[in-house]
Chain A
């Protein structure tokens, strides 16, 4: 917008700027508080309430949570599920998206409808649970991946992206004797790297954040991903809920320990956030192109 240099225009802009700055501050303040709180002692946190910058720095909370292998194990599960899940999801999502992007394919509309319909109507939690159970997936890591392997939304974004690649490229490759798989992996995918990166990151974040599948399909607490463990540790202390974990031997965690676990569970997301940010707006907009 062109700048408005009148006095009222400046006041307007100043108020607007201040409000937005406040909103941004309120949004991130809780994160900063938790990070700061995790790096101090419980005594310090209890004595000087509003810790944004602790006066006493301490690794105690982290030493404590890493003193057993519970956190390591849960982080391992989450990292494994995220890596394997993202690769698997990307593989079958891009195969499907490419097939559906080809306009000359018979039956394409039927399959498209089949996909979109699942966004409007679902069988729901219990029937899905029964299917997962019948397949023998209960208490397996596969139950965290397979039932949500393809996001219809992500598939449609990718399909739309593939559709925008000039058909001439594919045709000339075909004339040169390239197979459909060859075209996908040698021409279409390399040309779609921004979309591939975006969707991979979306999948990775979803897998990292997996919670519901874990509480539905995993009874065995040694297989819990970090999100479930985080929930247990944070809620356990005040005796708000029934179940307890951490091998039952650990005293109820205090505030700093809870904060440290929150930080550990958040860290991987924060680490990929700069990459996410580069792509995500584009990705979210790709999705707004109607299927």
Chain B
């Protein structure tokens, strides 16, 4: 303040500069007006279908009644969240979700890496391409198709798997209607659909490895396995970590569709996860606010997990995902 009054002559040009800057901005905005017109539909889409629902999360603090609307419904504070943590049912669902997530991380996650390494060892592009064509295919099938094909194969009445079991003298197994088989079926279907497709990104990373490194390693007497262990794996480490973070971020996002399609009254005990429970409680039973609270809880955990893992990976000297 002092200095400004001491040198009054300095102020006007400063103001002038500001003025020209803002008029420059106006000019730029006007020049780019058609670009903003182009952005408009997209921005509207994100506001209406992504940000309005985020705003709608406030109904988890209300007793939302469809006829009263967001503005007319009664406020109940953290009531629904309290209910969440006192209901034993919720912990069962949380546990089911965590188990499926753990299967994804510990069983599914390494498979595309191993496949990519194996594929990289394959000589000749011809076989490589045939293999890729075949294993990428299931990725483009809907979960409905994947689950339906599994269904006709494992059903008790005439499914080929059960027919083979009985042909070889084993008991038939009711895969579809048992608590014990839901999780194995889930993870097998995930592997079937996604493992092949999952190799793409690793293959690209492997292709970027400097061939001279292999040459040098061979000179030093390293076998194929050692080359993979000491050269290929370390170079694709960054990609592995990035994909791992993304996977963790989707910790509770196991795909509503897939699990919902596997569910029935006989395996709900182990199969009901947060996503399917939100659907059942919210849309089937009309508990809008309570199920929104559950969904909210899930989204928050997901966000926290991504930020956490991202920070850890940055501390470890890796690039984060954002």
Contacts and interface: CB of A to CB of B under 8 A. Distances in A.
Contact of B278 (A9, A102, A126, A266): A126
Nearest to A149: B45
A191 interface: no
A275 to B, nearest CB: 11
Contacts of B291: 125-126
A122 B282 contact: no
A277 B133 contact: yes
Considering residues B34, B42, B133, B176, which has the most beta carbons from chain A within 10 angstroms of its beta carbon? B42
Contact of A125 (B39, B140, B164, B256): B256
A127 B57 contact: yes
A12 B225 CA distance: 9
Interface string B17-60: 00000000100110010111011011101101111111111010
B49 A129 contact: no
For the complex of A and B, list the 4 residue pairs with the smallest distance between their C-beta atoms, beginning with the closest. A123-B53, A96-B42, A127-B56, A124-B295
Interface string B108-133: 00000001001111110001001111
Given A31-B137, A124-B299, A129-B283, A262 B149 contact: yes
A150 B279 contact: no
A212 B122 CA distance: 39
A211 B137 contact: no
Given A16-B122, A181-B34, A285-B201, A121 B302 contact: yes
B241 interface: no
A73 to B, nearest CB: 17
Interface string B123-160: 10001001111111110111111011111110111111
B38 A28 contact: no
A273 interface: yes
Interface of B: 25, 28-29, 32, 34-36, 38-39, 41-43, 45-46, 48-57, 59, 115, 118-123, 127, 130-138, 140-145, 147-153, 155-160, 163-164, 167, 176-177, 192, 196-197, 200-201, 204, 211, 214-215, 218, 223-224, 249, 256-257, 260-261, 264, 275, 278-279, 282-283, 288, 291-292, 295-296, 298-299, 302-303, 306, 321-322
A16 to B, nearest CB: 5
A241 interface: yes
Given A123-B52, A126-B282, A216-B283, A49 B39 contact: no
A13 B123 contact: yes
Contact of A27 (B42, B118, B135): B135
Interface stretch (A63-71, A79-87, A110-118, A192-200): A110-118
Interface of A: 1-4, 8-9, 12-13, 16-17, 19-21, 23-24, 27-28, 30-31, 33-34, 37, 45-46, 49-50, 92-93, 95-96, 98-100, 102, 104-106, 111, 114-116, 118, 120-131, 135, 146-150, 155, 179-181, 184, 205, 208-209, 211-212, 216, 227-228, 230-231, 234-235, 237-238, 240-241, 254-255, 258-259, 262, 265-266, 269, 273, 276-277, 280-281, 284-285, 288, 290
A40 B169 CA distance: 26
A106 B150 CA distance: 51
B57 A33 contact: no
Given A1-B214, A205-B140, A208-B142, A120 B303 contact: yes
